[in-house]
Structure 1
Amino acid sequence: MARLTRAQQQERTRAAVLAAARREFAEHGYAVAKIDRIAERAEMTRGAVYSNFPTKRALYLAVLADLVERSADEAGQADGTDGTDAIAGTAGIIGAAGQAPRPSPDSVAGSLGAFARVWLERLPLTGDSPADGHLRLRSLSGVLDDEPARTALAQTARLEALLLALALESYPPPGARRVRLAELVLTLLNGSAGLAETAPGFGDPFDVVRACDHLAGIDLADAWDPPHLPYVSPARPCDDPWTPPAEVSDRITGRRTGLGDDGVIAVLGAGRLSAAEEAVRGALPGDRVTVVVVTGDPAEIGRLVRLRVDDLTACLRRVFAPGAWPPLRLVLDDRALVATALGLPGVGDATEAAVRVRDGRIVARAEGRGAAHAAAAAGAPDATRRGGGEA
């Protein structure tokens, strides 16, 4: 029998720890779970567990992220797509087991109902224990008890709403901003999950689906008008070489991609993710917009962002046809490879920087609040131009 490489052994160890941790969290819940019991289940030492996951919270978030990935693989297999590409090729949603995917929705209302139906598949099943139900719900109750983690969750929720909104904005009328609508829908769905956790059996999921469908008709007077943008300093012109790292994973499509296109690259810390919209709204027609997420705490904050983003984008891919996916790339840069290539050392959760790339060169740079907008505006004839539209 051939000997395993070090990388293969590490992957096997990690998989064994995740499997043991999932059983422990499903039986005891996050608060009562013990690392010693997880090590015993995995037939490893306590030190071996901590060498792969530095804290119990990091391990719990990794278990949830693994559940999301497995759910995506299962959905891809159910509708005939390649499991290695998760569900990136799906243009419909999955109903009961054995049913064919439904046609892609053709309206905002239909898309919201379909999105809600897919999202609510996580609700606990009859007979699930409370702890196992928490895992199905991707519950973070009692897990994020410090300010940095809560801030990262709030900012990630803003990014989730933007991604859903951009998919909804593929429907007419053109130029309609639907971020507030997406926030409202996600508030309703997350509230339903919270009640399913604390008051099992309350409410009817089908009512929630119908409610999300009808939310499309609400006039929220949604406009893009950030008050700080007129005061943002222009990006600095430059002519720097741009050698992007090897292909990275785009979390929206689930596929590998390069970063050599012309356009805007915004590097945002986990505490500044709401600035992603500034890059999107300020971009010129034809620009390739890339949002690169960095953090000073990959083990916990990085896993939290990955969990939430992958969960949301998996739902989007099951509802929206590829042409309606959010028109940007989203890269989770845990090792700061992209940031380093851009000459941004020492990035962390408060980072906000952006560049404009043209013909393989970096032609403009900006840092600080409004950097993404400044880099986007650097390509316009009028540097004070502001992007976006109104409903």
Structure 2
Amino acid sequence: MVRLTRAQQQERNRAAVLAAARDEFAERGYADAKVDRIAERAELTRGAVYSNFPSKRALYLAVLLDSLDPPEVTGRGSTLADGLGTFARGWLERLPLTGDSPAGGHLRSRSMSGVFDDEPGRAAFAQVARLEAILLGLALESRPPNVVRRVRLAELVLTVLSGTGHLAEKAPGFGDPFDVIRACQHLAALDLGDAWDPPHLPFVPPAQAVREAWTPPGTLPDLLTGEPAAFGGDGVIAVLGTGRLSAAEEAVRAAEHVTVVVVTNDHAELGRLVRLRLGDLANCLLPVFGPPRPRVVLDDGRVASAVQVRDDDDTEAAVRVEAGEIVARAAGRGAAHAVGGSTRARR
């Protein structure tokens, strides 16, 4: 009889919990699923479940993450309208099928209904949605005609698709998905008068000019492409908590080479939420538009430590790296924009 190491036993228990949880959520849905039944299905104790996943919400998110396929990074050339249609088609593929049970349909669509119903969770979810719209908007801006901003168009497209998903959960079979695809294509011609000029930016103090040695903290996977993102080159590193993700656009509008580093003090739930939502976005985005900018990574503590900032959900800080040195840093509201507009020559 082969004796498993502690690590091997932990991994086996984790796999058993995930498989049991997937069956429980598929049969009963998130709200009615019980950790005790999941433990029974896995033939483990309740304590063994919680030693791997600290909450039912963390376990549900882990099950959804486990269902994600790696994105296809092709970036097929297309017009803006065709690109939006293809993006919508990919998004709609995960909607519940006719005959799916309500619980099974929720799991297939990776539904968040009733999952983040507390105020901190709702606030974080809203910020993640804002980051999704920014990333999609930047991808749309890569298609002609050239415009300053398409984030509001991205928000509208995501609103249409999200509403379609919610309706599919409540009234499966209602409406024609191809009508939704055509509607998203037609949105490309809608002039929303989109401009980017946040009112607080004129009041943001300039970044602090510094000269500090920079020690790159290794690599972390890009949440969109899965490729390793290194920190040895020049550019802006924006460290944003899950409550400040909308500030990513401030860095992108001010600088060309940007890495958004997401930090959180709740990796089990909020960290998984970020990974899940951006993974889902990547599966629809990358086959059509290719990798967008900026790179986005989820910090494991190393980047925040190297930048010397807290890894809290309300963190908003940024540094500019040039020639192996940190040449500018800022913290607080508008930090990414302040650092993005700074250069070594301005010190």
TM-score range, shorter chain: over 0.9
Deviation of the 1:206 alpha carbon: 0.6
What amino acid does structure 2 have at the position aligned with 1:200? Answer: P
Structure-2-length-normalised TM-score = 0.96
Letter of the 2:16 counterpart? A
Select 2:257's aligned residue among 288, 291, 303: 288
Instruction: Give the whole-Å Cα distance in 2 for the aligned partners of 1:308 and 1:7.
Output: 29
1:220-299 maps to which residues of 2 (within 5 A)? 220-283=192-255, 287-299=256-268
Contact 2:238 2:318 in 1 (8 A): yes
For the residue of structure 1 that corresponds to 2:142, the secondary structure is coil
* Cα separation, 1, equivalents of 2:231 and 2:265: 23
**Is the counterpart of residue 11 in structure 1 residue 11 in structure 2?**
yes
Q: Say whether 1:45 aligns with 2:42.
A: no
1:303-331 CA-partner distances (Å, limit 9, x unpaired): 111111111112112222x3xx2122100
> In the alignment, which residue of structure 2 is the partner of 1:310?
279
Q: Describe the SS at the equivalent of 2:93.
A: helix
Where 1:364 maps in the other structure, the secondary structure is strand
Instruction: Name 1:78's counterpart in structure 2.
Output: none
CA distance in 2, matches of 1:88, 1:203: 29
Q: Distance in 1 between matches of 2:181 and 2:306?
A: 44
Per the alignment, residue 343 of structure 2 pairs with 379
Give 1:252 deviation, angstroms.
Answer: 1.9
Question: Conserved in 2, the CA contact under 8 Å of 1:24 and 1:37?
Answer: yes
Give the distance between the partners of 1:327 and 1:126, measured in 2 at CA: 37
Paired position in structure 1 for 2:141: 169
Unaligned runs of 5+ in 1: 73-85, 92-103, 384-391
Q: Quick one: which of 157, 181, 191 aligns to 1:209?
A: 181
User: What whole-Å deviation, never above 9, does each CA across 1:179-213 have from its counterpart, x for those lacking one?
Assistant: 00000000000000000011111111110000000
Report the Cα distance in structure 2 between the residues aligned to 1:135 and 1:291, rounded to whole angstroms. Answer: 29
Range with greater deviation from structure 2 (247-256 or 18-27): 247-256
Conserved 8 A contact 2:217-2:303: yes
Provide Cα deviations, 1:224-252, integer angstroms capped at 9, x if missing partner. Answer: 11111110011111111211222110112
Task: Find the aligned partners of 1:341 and 1:4 in 2 and give their Cα distance.
Answer: 37
Provide the rounded CA distance (Å) in 2 between the counterparts of 1:141 and 1:184.
20
Q: 1:77 maps to which residue? A: none
**Identity level (%):** 67
> How far has the Cα of 1:58 moved from its partner?
0.9
What amino acid is aligned across from residue 209 of structure 1 in structure 2?
I
Q: 1:166 Cα deviation (Å)?
A: 1.0
Secondary structure of 1:122's partner? coil
> How do residues 116-195 of structure 1 correspond to structure 2 at under 5 angstroms?
116-195=88-167
The count of aligned residue pairs is: 347
Cα separation, 2, equivalents of 1:274 and 1:6: 41
CA contact (8 A) 1:165 1:181 kept: yes
Structure 2, gaps ≥5 residues long: none
Distance 1:174 1:54, change over 3 A: same
Instruction: Provide the rounded CA distance (Å) in 2 between the counterparts of 1:233 and 1:176.
Output: 25
Using structure 1 for the length normalisation, give the TM-score. 0.85
- CA RMSD in angstroms comes to 1.6
Question: C-alpha deviations, 1:331-367, integer Å up to 9, x for none?
Answer: 011x3221011111x3211110000000111111100
Structure 1 SS opposite 2:196: coil
Q: Which amino acid aligns with 2:148?
A: A
What CA distance in whole angstroms lies between the structure 2 residues aligned with 1:37 and 1:348? 34
Give the structure 2 partner of residue 24 of structure 1. Answer: 24
